[in-house]
Chains A and B, each alone.
Chain A
Amino acid sequence: AQKITQTQPGMFVQEKEAVTLDCTYDTSDQSYGLFWYKQPSSGEMIFLIYQGSYDEQNATEGRYSLNFQKARKSANLVISASQLGDSAMYFCAMSLLPRSNDYKLSFGAGTTVTVRA
């Protein structure tokens, strides 16, 4: 079974500053994918970034980057130049890769980010 841990229930960040959201995971599988999703108050889960366990480079998508440290089993999300619209709940998630037919996502408890003007 996979377990995702997000230890920061809530964070405040000043507009235009960077913020790092922590995520650690636990799995005995070697092939897995790590995801970050954003959930605004409207409820929709918005995909932000993906990192495969065999990817050597850290993933980046615009202002989002994933700091992947495989040996430490951590996959922290960095949001650069925070904007007011970044205020939301952020979830780290993991799934085993398709070869296992086990496609479900296991989610962490989430981190609430509030961006201050």
Chain B
Amino acid sequence: KAGVTQTPRYLIKTRGQQVTLSCSPISGHRSVSWYQQTPGQGLQFLFEYFSETQRNKGNFPGRFSGRQFSNSRSEMNVSTLELGDSALYLCASRRAGGSYGYTFGSGTRLTVV
């Protein structure tokens, strides 16, 4: 069965631009979460979506936003990019109820220059 798919794998953007990252969860998984990983801050929770609704949000500025579609696919958007937004962005999906396991994708490595 297909895992969590994140696209693109690598991205280089210029300061001030905006970027959209995509995440396709495992079939049947309705919850999608996003995490930012940097050497300095480690892994930090961005937000979580369930059935197209944002259910939980981390401590990030409003430049970071996301959405979830009816097929559970999710996108996150970062506007007005800053150098500090350079990071590995990881998406995780989980099945609602029962299993507590989170399955992660391979991530999108964003470099802001």
- A residues with a Cβ closer than 8 A to B are 33, 35, 37, 42-47, 50, 52, 91, 93, 95, 97-98, 101-110
Contacts and interface: CB of A to CB of B under 8 A. Distances in A.
Interface of B: 31, 33, 35, 42-43, 45, 48, 55-56, 58, 88, 90, 92, 94, 97, 100-107, 109
B106 A43 contact: yes
Contacts of B102: 35, 47, 95, 105
B90 A97 contact: no
Given A46-B104, A95-B102, 16 more contacts: A33-B100, A37-B104, A43-B88, A43-B109, A44-B104, A45-B92, A47-B101, A47-B102, A50-B100, A95-B100, A103-B33, A103-B48, A103-B94, A104-B45, A104-B48, A105-B33
Contacts, number: 59
Contacts of A47: 101-104
Nearest to A33: B100
A44 B94 contact: no
A43 B43 CA distance: 12
Contact of A52 (B43, B58, B100): B100
B31 A103 contact: yes
Contacts of A44: 104-107
Contact of A106 (B31, B45, B92, B100): B45
A46 B102 CA distance: 9
Chain B CB within 10 Å, residue with most, of A45, A102, A107:
A45
A45 B106 CA distance: 7
Contacts of A45: 90, 92, 104
A50 B100 CA distance: 8
5 contacts: A37-B104, A45-B90, A45-B92, A50-B101, A104-B33
A107 B100 contact: no
Nearest to A35: B102
A95 B101 CA distance: 10
